A and B are shown apart, each in its own frame.
Chain A
């Protein structure tokens, strides 16, 4: 049903290249509910966008059924958006001027359905999400849960084999969450592939598969590793995921970031006794820079716990404060 191979997603943000997904592989079959779990910025939404044909990845392959999504354009892309996938957005994103039923009709009318046929199909879908009595209300007159169910009905307009839901419970109270999740589970049980992106791991029991896009940093249990790097050798690349914090024993390591114009910006250099690479493991984020040896260098990689316990015993607050500053800067970058 869905085959993703060696997928890398990049986009430009604040003049830098951001790579939330790097080398991802995924297989998911019809009738399954797959949970994409991850913190903000981990690439969940980007992955959904690529599957939906709304974002072009840097490399890799995404196959929905027999259709290779990467590289689609023109009418083939429109066909994929209409018939290949249905998308449920986090903020519902219903057109405010249209009633619930009309919102469901839009994809059908856009695909050339006659008005009466589109009305009948919309009524059928509205009934399926139990909103017959709210069919002729505008979104502003509907609760969050009702809007989300209308959004699901709209996503099902062309009966797509894959349903993508981005944080479908983010704006809902617990009563509304229950009905929306039950609906998504039912849709999967009826033979559809449902992919739900969320940061809420409480949804795990509902799913058949979980893809965690934020690997938890291994905090203990791995011994420090000593690595010798020759001049120019890359220790880790921007966008990769890693669970090690590095201390430079000798030599110099440069940290550089790719700009969106293809050039590289040197952020800093770290020499004997200095450390780097703590933010990725701490925040569950991909590496935000590439670490490369300037000359022959020796580095020791620690787990986050070992690094905190043994190397910074007197100043854990300083490390967290530094991490908080960096997180803020990173979030600002992402939001630009």
Chain B
């Protein structure tokens, strides 16, 4: 149940990431048109597109993990007995959970501090930094949830996906 929720949230976040990709392309084209034909500018292109790349990719981390898009070195795991293989999978997922929980905690600290201090970007848009950063944080937290879900699933004996196995 909870696992379905995590996967659903990951998919939803990835859809949002897709919307951001489309918006980024549109925004760059808009800047080109403004500069070339109206001698004008949005003045925030590199700032906004920068946020866009980070938010888009962080939001799709969870689904990329679920669907086996992240790469790994298969030399060992493809050549060990199934029991050991399962142990390695559980450890890998647990390590991912631990590392990104740690990172999420400190990212949260940054977001809260920037919110409290009212820090804005040094551009004409003066975007409060906590806004894009909290969207990145959502992506990292979804990744943590997906790592944790996979850990639990592998401990419980779920089949290990062999999508990227080849030697």
| A and B interact | no
Which residues of A approach B to under 8 Å, CB–CB? none
Interface residues of B (CB under 8 A from A): none
